[in-house]
Structure formats: C-alpha cells, structure tokens
Amino acid sequence: MFTGLVQDVGTVAAREGCRLTIATALPGLALGDSVACAGCCLTVVEVGAGAFVVEVSPETLARTHIGAWGPGTKVNLESALCAGDPMGGHIVTGHIDGLARLLSVEEEGEFRRMAFAAPADLAPLIAPKGSLALDGVSLTVNGVDGPRFDVMIIPHTWENTTLSLLRPGDPVHIEADILARYAARAVAAMTPRGG
C-alpha cells in the first residue's frame, strides 16, 4: 500500500526484456520490497548501489505505459507504507486501472491546472473533490465533465514529480480511489437488471 506522495524521481538505467533497472536515491531498498513505479506496484528482484531491478509481467505491460520506458525515462517512485508511517496522501494500492491522456496545461499564477481525459469505463469513478493517483501522484480532482477531469498542481509537486515533463497527448497511469471502486461495485450489485 502507498500514499501517492512521491519520494524520488528515478531514472530507467537499463532495460532487458521484462527487466528494468531503475537508478534512485531511495534508501533502504531490499529484495522483495514493493515500490510504486509511476504508481504501479512492482517487486524489487535485485538491489545494487543506487539502483534496483524489477520484472514487469505481460498483464502489467498491457495495462500501463511501461512498455514505452527505455533508458533515460524518469519515473515517480514511492516505497511501500510501513505500520505507523504518516498517511499524507490517500490510500493507493499500486494497481493501475488504465491510462488517461493529458489534454492541456494552463498556468494559474504559480500553479498549473492540468486537464485529462479518462477512459469511459473509469469516468464514473472520478468525482469532484475526490482523490485519484496519476503516475503515482496523489491528487484531488477539481472538476469533472464526462470523461474529462482537471487537477491543480502546486509548485512543490510540479518541481518534484514527472508531471512537469508531460505534454498534451501523453498517457498517464490512473488509479481510481479504492472507495470509489467499492462503492461502484456495491451499487452495481444492488441495481436490478432489466429483462
């Protein structure tokens, strides 16, 4: 489990098939640890000096934009929560629901308003003032219009995550709030089917 508060922006140092080596300043990583890589929970299979290795399954490649990562790709990183850690963002599982696309970025003083288009099946899970994770960053939704939604980025987040590297059309991992997922599932189960 994670909070969506990015601890480091790592760099893909090498890729060999499904194995990625990511250079990072994250301290204390050990074999078997879970690390959110752009929001996707991956298992550390090897640790070296200033880097770790993960293996990406076909299912993960099908649901994410990790297949496009190569040497030099910047990646938001967060270590898994430990009991007693502060809960500053929101509950993030690291299970990516799909890909949203950046539509626009507008400056508003020191802040940036970023507008995205969500996949149609995920749009009902996004609510104004609700939480979601984009490339592993915990964000509050400002407004929603069908599949379109926007978030406001504070200067600290802009400067310390990969959001500032995005351009219109770029994909981002989207993880809907877990409470929204369960609420939608419960409502669907209670809704009578027509017949």
Which of 158-161's residues contact partners 24+ apart within 8 Å by CB, and which partners? Answer: 158/112, 160/6, 160/9, 161/6, 161/9, 161/76, 161/135, 161/137
Using alpha carbons, select from 3, 68, 12 the residue that is nearest to residue 39: 3
Q: Would residue 39 be called left, alpha or beta, if left means φ above 0 and alpha means ψ between -120 and 50 degrees?
A: left
Handedness of CA 112, 118, 122, 128 (dihedral sign): positive
* pLDDT at residue 178, rounded to an integer: 75
Mean pLDDT of 177-192: 73
Residue 187: band (very low, low, confident or very high) from pLDDT cuts 50, 70, 90:
confident
- 183 vs 170: CA distance, rounded Å: 29
- 67 vs 125: CA distance, rounded Å: 26
Query: 170 and 138 share a domain?
Result: yes
Helix, strand, or coil here: 195? coil
The residue from 79, 106, 121 where one domain ends is: 79
Asked if residue 88 belongs to a domain, the reply is: no
Mean pLDDT of 147-174: 98
Number of structural domains found in the chain: 2
**CATH number of the CATH domain containing 36:** 2.40.30.20
Asked if residue 84 belongs to a domain, the reply is: no
0.85 cut: is pTM over it?
yes
Query: 102 and 155 share a domain?
Result: yes
* pLDDT at residue 1, rounded to an integer: 85
Are the beta carbons of 53 and 162 closer than 8 angstroms?
Answer: no
The residue from 34, 52, 79 where one domain ends is: 79
Domain that holds residue 148: 98-189
Asked if residue 102 belongs to a domain, the reply is: yes
